[in-house]
Amino acid sequence: MSAAATPGFPEAADVTIALSATHLGGAVGAFGDPSVTVDVEQAGIPDGFLRLTVVSSSNPAVADAADVRQVRTADGDRRLTVHPRQQGYTDLTLQVTGRGGKTATATLSYAASARVDGALTTRYLTGSADASAAVDVGGGHVLVADDETNVLRLYDRSRSGAPVRTWDLGPTLGLKKEADIEAATRVGDTIYWTGSLGNNKDGKYKAERNTVFTTTVTGSGADTEIIFGSAYRKLREDLVAWDVANGNRYGFAAGTAAGEVPKQVDGFNVEGLEFAPGSTTTAYVGFRAPLAPAALGGKALLVPVTNFDQVLATGAKAAIGEPVELNLGGLSIRDIRKNAADQYLILAGSWAADDNSDPYALYQWDGVPGHAPVKRADLPTTDPGGWEAIVNVPDLRVPGARVQLITDSGAADLYGDGTEAKELDHPEWKKSRSAWFTLGSIRGGHR
């Protein structure tokens, strides 16, 4: 007779344990970290009578049993969160115990990144570490692209965790490699996206990066839907041809030549896209490189495409307007976004492919050529990841206006083992970081 059986009664059924994910990421001192759901069952026994415990940790210095919190869901499952003590990895062994002494175990592999500045307002967007462009779709959600895939991800702006939905546009675009999506903007139901248009990091031309495309968005929030619209694959050539015809004013031909890397002061790399004030036809294309002139301390460059809507709708050749040069203290365009009142925020950063320790700042601008932008905030650079995307622009006239930014953390060593985030094996451990910043007061300049 089994030790678990009682004379006159059948032996207790086996218990089972299943995790919604076997890997989980978090951060030291984080608020609202992702969770994992544990489904525990034993035939004939209500789930509420089953006991779930953490029986061991492979690295208690990162997180021990006492650092795991569990709450019961409405259907009897358990939702676990981990509050780590320090950066690193640990395997947590979970055990469920049922009637008759029956047990089952499962392992949750956990990774904790270090505490960051402004942890209270920080959230982590998991599934990708290379966020590069963001568009607010309303209902507290944001659509995020990354520059390592052709996948668009929909996230809840207020929570850490995995995307609500994803769309892989690679097959629709006919691309086998990434378009290197670096910027986006929305007009009505149309979202415009652009690749970097530059060479890759080895100085090689990759046609996929010379892609501008649209998606149509319907719904909002978690119910957002998107479908592919159209694509244009000659904007780089149009920009180079215009520059050559104007005396190589910005060196676009040289910056796109074979062997030239994009992230240098005289390189060619697009990272911003936004429409001109009051316009749905003229779009500013913002350059990370080159500066104007292409030297330390040069100005940031915006090039207007005056028929941008028709470029995407009909494949018309891009018509180039008079470029705009902006004094951003020697920094270049990493993102540019406006609100319905045509108030612009520019996310300024270095043109270089460095460790993201160079300065970042937010500038306000009115979108009018010849008007100077005004610095509203310096951004912290001590934590991993470079500031890359503005979610949306608040009313900049309101004192204490706050803006949400997102990092590209692909090259960051998040867990202290020397592995770049983009190279991690598990999507739950890959993450970009979002944070809220309060804008400082305006001191002169054009509003």
pLDDT of residue 6: 52
Q: Is the dihedral of CA 232, 233, 237, 239 positive or negative?
A: positive
Average pLDDT over residues 282-304: 98
Q: Is the pLDDT of residue 109 over 50?
A: yes
Q: Is the pLDDT of residue 445 over 50?
A: no
d(CA 175, CA 168): 11
Average pLDDT over residues 379-387: 95
d(CA 11, CA 2): 7
Instruction: Name which of 118, 117, 155, 111 is nearest 133 in CA terms.
Output: 155
Alpha-carbon separation of residue 333 from 101, 293, 429, 438 (angstroms): 63, 14, 29, 20
Tens digits of per-residue pLDDT, 223-240? 999 999 999 999 999 999
Instruction: Name which of 20, 31, 59, 54 is nearest 417 in CA terms.
Output: 59
Q: Chain-wide mean pLDDT for the chain?
A: 95
pLDDT of residue 3: 45
Beta bridge partners of 124: 433
Res. 7 pLDDT band, cuts 50 70 90 = low
pLDDT of residue 441: 78
Average pLDDT over residues 164-170: 97
Q: Is the pLDDT of residue 2 over 90?
A: no
- Bigger pLDDT: 44 vs 353: 44
pLDDT of residue 101: 93
Tokens of 192: 């415009």
Q: Are the C-beta atoms of 154 and 145 separated by less than 8 Å?
A: no
d(CA 392, CA 388): 13
What pTM, to 2 d.p., does this model score?
0.94
Q: Is the pLDDT of residue 350 over 70?
A: yes
d(CA 199, CA 45): 62
Q: Is the pLDDT of residue 111 over 50?
A: yes
pLDDT of residue 8: 53
Res. 295 pLDDT band, cuts 50 70 90 = very high
Q: Is the pLDDT of residue 210 over 70?
A: yes
Q: Other C-beta atoms within 10 Å of 1: how many?
A: 7
All domains of the chain in start order, with CATH? 15-113 (2.60.40.10), 119-438 (2.120.10)
pLDDT of residue 76: 80
pLDDT of residue 9: 53
Q: Is the pLDDT of residue 201 over 70?
A: yes
Average pLDDT over residues 312-316: 98
Tens digits of per-residue pLDDT, 404-444? 999 999 999 999 999 999 999 999 999 999 999 999 877 64
